[in-house]
C-alpha cells in the first residue's frame, strides 16, 4: 500500500475508530487472488468485543462507499483486534501487557522472557522467572534497549485469585 493511500485511509478512518473509543493500530491492504483485502486492526484498554468490531466495520464500509479511497477494484474489509501474541511497538501496548509474559529481543543481542510488572516513560520493570527451582529476579529494561518485543501466550498460568487462595 502506498504511503499516500495509507495516510489517506488513516485520516478517513481514525475519527470513526476514535468515536468508538478505540485505537487504530494498523491498516493493511493486501492481495488475495483478484481481490484486495483491507485489514483494520483496532484495540483499547479493555480489549475489543466482537460487537464493537461489527459495528465499526459497518461504519467504515459506509464511509469507504462514500469516497474513492479504495478505488474501483473489489476488496474485502476485515476489522479485528490484534492477536494474543501481538508485537509490542507502542508505549500503550506495554501498559496493556502489564502482568503478561513477554519475549524481548535486546538491541545488544540476546533475548529475555519475563513478566511485565510495571511500565513508565523510560522502560519496564520485569520479573524474570527462576530457572531450576530458583526464585524469580527483578530486572529493569529501558525502551531504547529493546529491538522488538512480543507477548507470549501462556496456557497454564494461574490467575491471581488462584494464587492468593
Instruction: Return the C-alpha cell found at 122.
Output: 523510560
Q: What is the pLDDT along the chain (165 residues), one digit of tens a residue?
A: 556 777 889 899 999 999 989 989 889 888 878 888 999 999 888 888 889 899 999 999 999 988 888 878 888 999 998 877 778 988 988 998 899 999 999 999 999 999 999 999 999 999 998 888 889 899 999 999 999 999 988 877 655 444 444
Query: pLDDT value at position 145?
Result: 95
Amino acid at each position: 500500500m502506498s504511503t499516500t493511500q495509507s495516510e489517506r485511509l488513516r485520516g478517513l478512518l481514525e475519527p470513526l475508530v476514535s468515536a468508538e473509543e478505540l485505537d487504530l493500530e494498523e491498516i493493511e491492504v493486501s492481495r488475495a487472488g483478484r481481490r484486495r483485502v483491507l485489514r483494520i486492526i483496532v484495540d483499547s484498554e479493555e480489549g475489543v468485543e466482537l460487537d464493537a468490531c461489527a459495528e465499526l466495520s459497518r461504519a467504515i464500509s459506509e464511509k469507504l462507499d462514500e469516497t474513492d479511497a479504495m478505488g474501483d477494484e473489489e476488496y474485502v474489509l476485515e476489522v479485528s483486534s490484534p492477536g494474543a501474541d501481538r508485537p509490542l511497538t507502542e508505549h500503550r501496548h506495554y501498559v496493556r501487557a502489564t502482568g503478561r509474559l513477554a519475549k524481548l529481543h535486546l538491541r545488544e543481542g540476546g533475548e529475555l522472557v519475563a513478566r511485565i510488572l510495571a511500565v513508565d516513560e523510560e522502560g519496564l520493570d520485569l520479573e524474570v522467572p527462576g530457572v531450576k527451582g530458583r526464585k524469580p529476579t527483578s530486572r529493569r529494561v529501558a525502551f531504547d534497549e529493546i529491538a522488538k518485543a512480543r507477548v507470549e501466550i501462556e496456557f497454564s498460568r494461574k490467575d491471581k485469585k488462584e494464587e492468593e487462595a
